Structure 1
Amino acid sequence: MSPQLSSWPLISCKYTAYTHGARRRIRNRTMSMHTGWEDLKRLALSLDLPGVTEATSWGQPCLKAHGKLWVWWSPHEDAPVFKVSREMRGVLVETAPETFYFTDHYRDYPLVLMRPDHIDATWARDNLLAVWRAQAPNAS
């Protein structure tokens, strides 16, 4: 666990999801009940991945990986937005509706929102790494 997260109270959370093509049960812990953009940004930046920059999108702070949106906080939903496949989003929303959801605004995009009081640090870290890899330029 990164030093930034060590002082946060942790709460049990479990759900089933497809990850990297395999179905597995995930038992993780969630971040503080008061997680916000700064906490999520600190988690993402603690991964220390090359090509990650702080930016703005539609006037709101976000993080980009390799010049593409990577993760951001929806001001309208007051919740983090993560990139996932539509298939993964369906599984997450169906198996853990207390944690994952989407609104009409995000319906046509491969994105999922996570309720701030149920942010799962391990899932977020795994998702951020997978999206970062997918957005990385091909090595020549």
Structure 2
Amino acid sequence: MENNTWLALTFIRNTVMAFPGVTEQLCFETPAFYVNKHIFARLKEDGENLVVHTVEREKWMQKDPQTFFITDHYVNYKYMLVNLERVDPDDLKTLLLTAWKNRAPKKLLNEL
């Protein structure tokens, strides 16, 4: 794993593990983060992008299409790719928290 990917993954882990009920497992042989058995983020196999659950991907993709984008595979899913080299850390935190909130049950939302 490249050093930049390792740093990004450390940042992601430190952010999401502060949210209630988060577990880390492998998905397609890459680190993935779940809440209540629902995936909300995972490192893409290329090691350069994060796959994140979102219902606002159009907003993000309009903001910066080189950082936030989808491939044909994700057209019919509520996921977006995030370029880890380009993303602002505050935007990444916002995306991770929102993804967690979208997937977490009410009981865990109340614990936050």
TM-score, normalised with respect to structure 1: 0.63
Name the structure 1 match of 2:81.
113
Residues 31-110 of structure 1: matches in 2 within 5 Å?
35-36=4-5, 38-47=6-15, 48-76=18-46, 78-85=48-55, 88-110=56-78
Gaps of 5+ in 1: 1-33
- State the Cα distance separating 1:98 from its structure 2 match: 2.2
Aligned residues: 104
- State the Cα distance separating 1:76 from its structure 2 match: 4.2
Pair 45,74 (structure 1): closer, same or farther in 2 beyond 3 Å = closer
In terms of fraction of residues, the more strand-rich structure is 1
Provide the rounded CA distance (Å) in 2 between the counterparts of 1:77 and 1:102: 16
Identity %: 22
**Which of the pair has more CA radius of gyration?**
1
SS of residue paired to 1:69: strand
RMSD: 2.2
Residue identity opposite 2:52 in structure 1: F
In terms of fraction of residues, the more helix-rich structure is 2
Gaps of 5+ in 2: 108-112
Contact 2:68 2:81 in 1 (8 A): yes
